[in-house]
Amino acid sequence: MIIAIDGPAGAGKSTVSRLLAERLGCVRIDTGALYRAVALAATHAGFAAQDAAALEAFVKALDLRVTQDAVFVNGEDVSGAIRTPEASRAASDFAALPSVRAGLMALQRRLGRSAPSVLDGRDIGTVVFPDADAKIYLTASAQERAKRRLAELHARGLGGELAEVLAEIEARDAQDMNRAIAPLRQAPDATLVDATSLTLEGAVDACYLAVQHQLAAGRG
């Protein structure tokens, strides 16, 4: 069983998908973390997003592993390092490259097919698993997403101002939605869940009900 959750940055996909996976008894796969990890590794290695040819070989050689709680690159736990605004911006840059997407798509499909899974990202229901058993498009207003992201940064001891975070959110949205390859969009058969005014529990409940409805319709 494949459950696909797509949506813009800061909509709560990571937390919602983790809790939804627990409720459904599935494995949760954070595909955004994979792109962040590749971007972090490539940046530290001195690559720029323009180095497409060299990046293809670099990505293929990476030892990239994910667990329920951590992400490892060449044996190093990068779970914290990939959650900075800089890593987020770099991930969007590198995610636009065909060489990076091709390498990670194969990994995502392999992970998703290894067990009943909830996958969250930008193009899970549109590109990676267009035949997913259930699809959710989880979103919230840019203002609300910026507030949540700022609170998350402050909780981790990082600085930031609301106007700055909002500008980053809006820039990321534009980049993700307008890239030539696999742009962020709602799949035609995905259920829209707007979490702007929902609590975390409410968002998880809404996604759970949507998944149950889609699974029942599929069996019918």
The series of mean pLDDT values per 10 residues for the chain, 220 residues long, is 95 94 93 88 83 79 82 91 81 80 86 92 94 97 95 86 94 90 93 97 98 86
CATH assignment of the domain containing 70 = 3.40.50.300
pLDDT at residue number 130: 96
If residue 183 lies in a helix (H) or strand (E), which one and from where to where? none
Domain coverage including residue 74: 2-219
Residues 97 and 55 sit within 8 Å (Cβ to Cβ) = yes
Count of CB atoms within 10 A of residue 56's CB? Answer: 16
CA quadruple 65, 203, 117, 178: dihedral sign: negative
What is the pTM assigned to this prediction? 0.84
**CA-to-CA dists, residue 160 to 141, 142, 169, 211, 216, angstroms:** 19, 16, 13, 36, 44
pLDDT at residue number 22: 95
pLDDT at residue number 199: 95
pLDDT at residue number 30: 85
Helices 98-112 and 85-95 cross at an angle (nearest 10°) of 100
Q: How many domains does the chain have?
A: 1
At 90 the three-state DSSP class reads helix
pLDDT at residue number 219: 63
pLDDT at residue number 5: 97
pLDDT at residue number 220: 54
Residues 49 and 26 sit within 8 Å (Cβ to Cβ) = no
